[in-house]
Amino acid sequence: MNDTPITTIIVFYLVILNVLTFLLYGIDKWKAKHSRWRIPESLLLGMAAVGGSVGAWLGMRVWRHKTQHKKFRYGVPAILVAQIVLLVWVVVNYL
């Protein structure tokens, strides 16, 4: 893969976004256990949709959070698969 500045920026974006998403799932789990204000589900799913699907999936597994909600149990893996397909398509066609 050609290491262009745009590639570096995208990788940096995805790493930061996935770490942040992973942490948000952990924070929301903590808040749930302590009866605190919760992070909206739309934000948790939105973070997965804009590139944080790996962090969301890991957050669900590590923190055991949102695993019983169908929109998370099926939605996050579906988003992850779609993003992997998109990534493969971009790599095959443009790099």
- Where in the sequence is the domain holding 25, given as residue range(s)? 5-94
26 close to 63: Cβ distance less than 8 angstroms: yes
Mean pLDDT of all residues in 54-75: 97
pLDDT tens digits, one per residue of 67-86: 999 999 999 999 999 999 99
24 close to 62: Cβ distance less than 8 angstroms: no
Total domains, the chain:
1
pLDDT tens digits, one per residue of 9-53: 999 999 999 999 999 999 999 999 999 999 999 999 999 999 999
Q: Provide the whole-model pTM.
A: 0.91
